[in-house]
Amino acid sequence: MSDQIMTIHLKIWKQNDPGSSGKLVDYTMDDVNPDMSFLEMLDWLNERLMNEGKEPIEFDHDCREGICGSCNLVLNGMAHGPEPGTAVCQLHMRKYKDGDTIVVEPWRAKAFPIIKDLVVDRYAFDRIMAAGGYVSVNTGAPADANALPVNKYDADLAFDYAACIGCGACVAACPNSSASLFTGAKVSQLAHLPQGTPERKRRVVKMVDKMAEEGFGDCSNYAECEAVCPAEISITAIAEMRREYAKALSEIV
Amino acid sequence: MTATKNGILDSKVPEGDLKDKWDNHKKNLRLVNPANKRKFTVLVVGTGLAGASAAASLAELGYNVKVFCIQDSARRAHSIAAQGGINAAKNYPNDGDSIWRLFHDTIKGGDYRSREANVYRLAQVSNNIIDQCVAQGVPFAREYGGLLDNRSFGGAQVSRTFYARGQTGQQLLLGAYSALMRQVHTGKVEMLARREMLDLVKIDGKARGIVVRNLTTGEIERYAGDAVLLCTGGYGNVYYLSTNAKNSNASAIWRCYKRGAQFANPSFTQIHPTCIPVSGKYQSKLTLMSESLRNDGRVWVSKTKNDKRHPTEIPEEERDYFLERRYPSFGNLVPRDVASRNAKYVCDEGRGVGKTGLAVYLDFRDAINNYGADTIKGKYGNLFAMYEKITGENPYEVPMRIFPAVHFTMGGLWVDYNLSSTIPGLYVLGEANFADHGGNRLGASALMQGLADGYYVIPNTLGDYLAENLHAEKIDTNHIAFDEVEKEATDRIHKLLNVKGRKTVLDFHRELGDIMWDNVGMSRNKKDLQKAITAISELREEYWKDVNIPGESATYNKYLEYALRIADYMELGELMARDALDREESCGGHFREEFQTEDGEAVRDDENFSNVTSWEFQGDDKEPLKNVEPIEFEFVTPTQRSYK
Amino acid sequence: MSKTATFLNSQVGRKIATGVTGIGLVLFIIVHLIGNLAYFGGPEAINTYSYTLHQMGPLLWVVRLGLLAFFLYHVWLGFSIWLGRRRARPESYEVYASRGWPSRQSWSSSSMILTGVLLLLFVITHLNTFAFHDFQTAVINGVEMHDVHARLTEVFQSPLYTIYYVIIMVLLGMHLRHGVWSAFQSLGWMSRNTNPIIYSVAFVLALIIAIGFIGLPISIYFGLV
């Protein structure tokens, strides 16, 4: 808890619609409380702008506790800002110093077109999921949950991958705009569970192909995705996805 | 057809013994044959646990489904934020659990204000839910033997909660979401993201379509269907600060209320005691921490008012461990509502801590001294880390500050046993309906209810309605009813945009939140509730004269979305106050100061209020009509609780 | 499309192919390095080594053509992945920065295309300097053979060429620093525990190769051998 009020200079990306070109606009906030979250500072800025009769800044957000994956800001070139394992909604201003300048940009990737200002369209992720990110089981009366034991090591590993919040920071931070970590996390989660086994070959092929079709780039193993991932998902997911893919294509008919 | 006769609602609970009701009912429900299922279109609004599971299950059956969500992806619905777990009566630990016991705990936890038949059905299908989720690949916590792990949760003496670390809601939602995406792939589901329902279209008294705003373009769109499912969650954001997501809203259910769906028990809200407190005026939402913290933390404030000393400088004898003092046998482990209310009382006395004075200490000093910091870290490490991330304080050294926050709303649109609202063809699932939790929801039961409604109840009950309407006229979106509803919706948007006043939507929301929190919060009384009704109505009037909404309608415009939601929240807030005023008893999350024992215990009035209060809209300038559904107990006997 | 074509056109297949060709080239480089070190054994050692290689006849050509194919495919994949970057992000960031570890963005990984291109140009000049150059003849144990030793000694008398060579070898080290680790990751030979180990091993390997190659010209130029 700190009572010191800070001044923060912001350069925020403003863009009217997907078609138009955007630019950075300067704003200065001279009443930033260190206990504010970054998004609360933007709320505060928007209040001021609206009171001055100006247009507020559009940005995506929802749960504000780091789990829904809505927020998507690149701060000074880093997806979700400087704190490891933290979505930007959980980043607090006490991590900055009085007088700092912060450049705020949206995720940038062909597959994530900008809707307005800092808001982007991430439907491409849904389409990758629709291509195979599931176990094909209808609602009904499946076998008893304990009829299928899963060793704890695999269950824990599957969870680590399943923790993905689908925010897209991996794509945003990747110099190539690759979606490999997102896709790899789902492929690897299901590859570690017996439930995922029957479809595992088909799944990895469909999802990997879909990822390329959506316009995401190749992976060059920069591992920047792991560094910015709020769920701290390891790039081992990508290694596993490649293993799965190679195995699948060598065996699939 | 109508559910209400002479002010009494018919819940359509089937006859027979409690444990046979659901099976018998399913036997009697009409079916739609596969060829005919293809002829029906179902509109599902919301993609949380209830919405995603319902949409996927209905599409698997062969219905055409259109799904709407306000976020950019179905996976972002607020079910994702649920931490603790999901209950089921599996009795894997062999500790004496059963469907009956889960049913009984839920009824008792709800302070005897929910329907026996519904709750029993919920307990029955709870086991199928776990099976279904495991089959989908939900990574529940497991033991070394490879079998599922369980833990215990508040309000139960057995371990029946299945969990996936602290992210159970996320994993269950992703399971339902993946089932939904599979149906999107087959083409049976059309996914319409970034769409907000503005209103319901009724034709011949039945729900036949919705009008939505495309949040990307601002265009108004029309969708026709044979039934509408509302799975839009709760309305905790009426309090401004809550643990709900920022975009969670009540507009869909409220618009349907204004079209004739009755609203049941709106005043039943749950307040969670262990949230991270407000740090300043800019605060936009509250974050919950598991209440398991109260197992080892001691709650206290200073004995003196406005004590500005650092907590570690306040000596033992000047500390007031008020829960231990007032409730010697339960101490810090009193139920959620008791803990919450007492925190409020000490803050009202001016003994609250922190900058805002709206917090109490939750101190781990003694636990760390007794068991060592490592043990405490092993138990609560992730919670302590989360606390430090948000507050910047180290709870191993400085006591945590906590404060209660609105967390869940038990009230919602009234539904019968089939989940049908009082408008035929309009079904309400999950937190949006009022059904299963009565006056108070137990931990780990919200996820269970959302999935029960979506996976197991609606796929059966909706067919019965559709079978009856097999030969109903197919409706086109050019129907005049769509014209009328769309015009009302656009008029409303333009009216709001044209106010061009001086105060922002946030200003109004905050004021509404203050009124609600102070008067319709965890402790209520007649005078305050009457005051709230007047204050909200004044605020509403001011809103339509002085709100300032930037931008235009035909673009992406988050503040316009927000403004429309707040307009609805103001009306809903007033109904909540009215309902709280009407319910002259203390029960579950609803505590009326006039109805308590000398020790401050809630006093229920089973003679006069063993019922559901269901409000029927009569017009903007008229008071709503009160209907009731009597709650009768055939199989359990209501008891009073005590925690002294 | 055949399965092989599908595989080679996929993002995963391209990356695996980059890794496989890369590993092939690294193995060649290691053999080459061992050959170079023969210089320290005197004219007889290195000239005999070179002569023995040439005696392999058609097999040598198979290896050479294979190597060329690997090399060209590796280069083509590198360019193609690099060119895809702009397509995947038509509008770049105004400000871009790495978050730091566990990110492997570094002077090495960020300059793969640059070091790659420079290595490509080097290989062309290198072949010109050595492989396609007319050698003097040496006679060892009565056998006539190319005097590789003399050529090396002559080339590394030039300060400019020596500096150029050393710089290129530093670049090779940089390229391998990311490349070797990356190949393992691309082939999926990675688990969470081995990941940091392989990353460190790759660094050591790149360092050894670079120092190994630099050792020779420096020693010759300063007359240490």
Q: Kindly report, residue by residue over A84-94, the tens digit of the pLDDT.
A: 999 999 999 99
Give me chain A's average pLDDT, please. 94
Half-sphere exposure of B207 (CA within 13 A, CB side): 31
Give yes or no for a contact between B575 and B263, defined as CB atoms under 8 angstroms apart. Answer: yes
Average pLDDT on C12-38 reads 93
pLDDT of amino acid B333: 82
Assess whether chains C and B touch, using the rule of 3 or more C-beta pairs within 8 angstroms.
no
Cα dist from C111 to B64, B278, C206, whole Å: 52, 47, 15
Residue of B336, B524, B578, B583 marked catalytic: B336
Task: Tell me if C98 is assigned to some domain.
Answer: no
Sheet of strand B64-68, all strands in order from the earlier edge strand to the far edge: B189-192, B64-68, B41-45, B227-230, B426-428
Q: What is the pLDDT of residues B601-619, one digit of tens each?
A: 889 999 999 999 999 999 9
* C98 touches A at CB < 8 Å: yes
Instruction: Point out the residue among C15, C93, C98 whose CB comes nearest to the CB of A219.
Output: C15
Judging contacts by C-beta atoms under 8 Å, the chain C residues touching residue A245 are 10, 12-13
CB B454 within 8 A of CB B430: yes
What is the total residue count of chain B?
A: 644
Q: Which residues of B touch A107 (CB under 8 A)?
A: none
Give the count of domains, chain C. Answer: 1
Indicate if B441 belongs to the active site: no
**Is the distance from CB of B204 to CB of B367 less than 8 angstroms?**
no
Contact by Cβ (8 Å): A235, C185: yes
Interface of A with B in 222-251 (CB under 8 A): none
Q: Residue B469's closest CA among B416, B421, B425? A: B425
Handedness of CA B157, B158, B164, B170 (dihedral sign): negative
Cα A80 to Cα B403: distance, rounded to the nearest angstrom = 28
pLDDT in tens, C52-106: 888 888 998 899 999 999 999 999 999 999 999 999 999 999 999 999 999 999 9
Cα separation of the two ends of chain B: 48
**Which CATH number fits the domain that encloses residue C32?**
1.20.1300.10
CA distance B166 to B84: 6
Share of chain A above pLDDT 90, in %: 94
Whether residue C102 contacts residue C161, with contact meaning beta carbons closer than 8 Å, is answered with no
Task: Please report the residues numbered 14 through 43 in chain A whose beta carbons come closer than 8 angstroms to any beta carbon of chain B.
Answer: 17, 33-37, 39-41, 43
Q: Can you name the CATH fold of B480-630?
A: Methane Monooxygenase Hydroxylase; Chain G, domain 1 (1.20.58)
**Residue C182: its chain A contacts at CB < 8 A?**
220-221
Confidence of residue B332 (pLDDT cuts 50, 70, 90): confident
Instruction: Enter the ipTM.
Output: 0.96
List, by residue range, all CATH 1.20.58.100 domains of chain B: 480-630
Interchain contact, A195 vs B134, CB within 8 Å: yes
Q: Output the CA torsion sign for B581, B587, B590, B592.
A: positive
Q: What is the pLDDT of residue A253?
A: 43
Asked if B337 and B589 touch (Cβ cutoff 8 Å), the reply is yes
- Using a CB-CB cut-off of 8 Å, the residues of chain A touching B73 are 69, 122-123, 125-126, 166
What part of A 184-203 touches B (C-beta under 8 Å)? 189-190, 193, 195-196
Give B43-81 pLDDT, tens digit per residue. 999 999 999 999 999 999 999 999 999 999 999 999 999
| A44 inside 8 A of chain B by CB | yes
Collapsed DSSP state (helix, strand, coil) of residue A59: coil
Burial C91-110, CB ≥16 within 10 A → b, else e: eebbbbbbbeebbbbeebbb
Res A252 pLDDT > 70: no
Of A40, A54, A150, the CB nearest to B146: A150
pLDDT interval class at B1 (50, 70, 90):
very low
> Which chain A positions have a beta carbon within 8 Å of B136's beta carbon?
134-135, 137, 195
Q: Is some CB atom of chain C closer than 8 A to the CB atom of A183?
A: no
- State which residues form the domain around C77: 12-86+106-221
A abuts B (3+ Cβ pairs < 8 Å) = yes
Task: Render pLDDT for C149-176 as a digit per residue (tens, 0 to 9).
Answer: 888 888 899 999 999 999 999 999 999 9
CB contact under 8 A, C12 and A252: no
Q: In sequence order, what DSSP letters do the residues of B377-394 get, joined into one string?
A: HHHHHHHHHHHHHHH---
Q: Which residues pair with B227 in a beta bridge?
A: B42
Q: What is the pLDDT of residues B548-561, one digit of tens each?
A: 999 999 999 999 99
Predicted pLDDT at B39: 94
| The token pair that represents B309 in the structure block | 């000393």
Average pLDDT on C185-202 reads 87
Q: CB-side exposure of A130: number of CA atoms within 13 Å? A: 20
Banded model confidence at residue B643, pLDDT cuts 50, 70, 90: low
Any chain C CB within 8 A of the CB of A242?
Answer: yes
Residue C193 forms contact with A (CB below 8 Å):
no
Statement: residue A2 has pLDDT above 70: no
Q: How far is C104 from chain A (nearest CA, A)?
A: 5
Q: Span B273-406: which CATH code? A: 3.90.700.10
User: Which residue among B135, B142, B287 sits closest to A137, beta carbon to beta carbon?
Assistant: B135
Q: Looking at per-residue confidence, does C137 or B256 come out higher?
A: B256
Is C27 part of a structural domain of the chain?
yes
List, in order of start, the domains of chain A with CATH numbers. Answer: 6-116 (3.10.20.30), 123-251 (1.10.1060.10)
CA distance B84 to A103: 37
What is the share, in percent, of chain B residues with pLDDT greater than 70? 99
pLDDT for B629 beyond 60 = yes
Alpha helix ranges (H) inside B358-479: 365-371, 373-391, 446-451, 458-468
- Confidence at residue C224, expressed as pLDDT on a 0 to 100 scale: 83
Helices (H), B469-557: 480-497, 505-519, 526-546
**Does the pLDDT of residue B396 top 90, yes or no?**
yes
With a pLDDT cut of 90, the percent of chain B lying above it is 83
Interface check A134 vs B, CB under 8 A: yes
Residue C1 included in any domain:
no
pLDDT band (50, 70, 90) for residue C130: confident
Can you tell me the mean pLDDT for A213-229? 96
Q: Is the pLDDT at B574 greater than 60, yes or no?
A: yes
Mutate to test the interface with C, among A114, A159, A242 (most CBs of C within 10 A): A242
Contacts of A134 in chain B (CB under 8 A): 136-137, 178-179, 181-182
From-to residues of CATH 3.50.50.60 in chain B: 4-83+167-270+408-468
Mean pLDDT taken over chain B: 93
Q: Cβ separation of A146 and B144 shorter than 8 Å?
A: no
C3 part of a folded domain: no
How many percent of chain C have pLDDT more than 90? 58
Distance from chain centroid for Cα B452: 15
Which of A63, A126, A193 minimises the CB distance to B137? A193
Q: How many CA atoms lie within 13 A of B157 on its CB side?
A: 5
Per the CB < 8 A criterion, the answer to whether B268 and B439 are in contact is yes
Mean pLDDT of B423-438: 95
Which class does domain B4-83+167-270+408-468 fall in? Answer: alpha beta
Q: How far is A120 from chain B (nearest CA, A)?
A: 9
Beta carbons of B92 and A146 less than 8 Å apart: yes
Tell me the backbone φ, ψ of residue B273, rounded to 5 degrees.
-75, -30
List all residues of chain A from 51 to 90 with a beta carbon under 8 Å from chain C. 74, 76-79, 82, 84
Nearest-angstrom CA–CA distance, A170 and A185: 11
